[in-house]
Amino acid sequence: MGLTIDWATGELTGQLVRSRVKKLGELREVFADQARLETMDPETLVYRVQVWLPEDGNPTGLLWGSTTIAPGKVGDEYFMTFGHFHTLRERPEIYAAIRGEGGLILMDENRRTWMEPMTAGSVHYIGAGLAHRVVNTGEGPLTFVASCNTDAGHDYESILRHGFGARLKEAGGRPVLVAEESLAGAGH
C-alpha cells in the first residue's frame, strides 16, 4: 500500500502521508506558565504528527499515525501534545511508544486524570470516552505510533476550555502528576 515506517525514528514515508508540525506559539493555551512562555521563541518546534489515511471509502477505516515530541519544558512543565477527546466518544485508539521516555495522560468525562508511563515498546489502549495527551519527560525525542478509526474526529474545544485534570511537571528532578485543583487552590 506504499507506506513504510522507519522503526528507529518513526518516520512515515508514502504518497498518502500527511505531516504537520506544532510550534510553541500554537500551543500557548496548553501550558500553565504564561510568563515563562512569553520569554520563549514561538517558532520552537514542539511536535510533529504524520498521518496515513486509507483511500478505501470505508467510513470506519483505520488510520496509521506517528508523532514525535521534542524534549523541552515551559518552566517546570514538559513539552506535550495538545490532547483531545474523540468527537465520536465511543472510538478507542492504540498508541505504542517506539523511543524516548514520557507519559500518556488520560482523562475521563468526569475529569478524573491519570498517567501511563511511556517508554520504547510500551503499548497503550485508550478506551472509549477518554481524552489523551502525550508528554515527553526525556532528554531526547519521544516517538509513538497510533491507530484509530478514521471517523473518530478530534474534539480540541473541550481541552481548550477546561484543560486536563492534572499536569505533568518536573519536581525534584523527576516527573510528577500535579492535580489542577490543587494548583488553582494554591492561588487563593
Binding site for Fe ion (CB under 5 A): 93
**How far apart are alpha carbons 160 and 133 in whole angstroms?**
13
* CB of 75 vs Fe ion, minimal distance in Å: 27
Chain-centre distance of CA 120, in angstroms? 16
Q: Which is nearer to Fe ion, 72 or 129 (CB)?
A: 129
- Cβ atoms of 75 and 33 closer than 8 Å: yes
C-alpha cell at 13: 514515508
Q: Which is nearer to Fe ion, 53 or 178 (CB)?
A: 53
Residue 129 has φ and ψ, to the nearest 5°, of: 80, 5
* CB of 54 vs Fe ion, minimal distance in Å: 17
* CB of 90 vs Fe ion, minimal distance in Å: 13
* CB of 93 vs Fe ion, minimal distance in Å: 5
- Give the bridge partners for 105, in sequence order: 115, 133
Q: Which is nearer to Fe ion, 26 or 181 (CB)?
A: 26
Q: Which is nearer to Fe ion, 93 or 101 (CB)?
A: 93
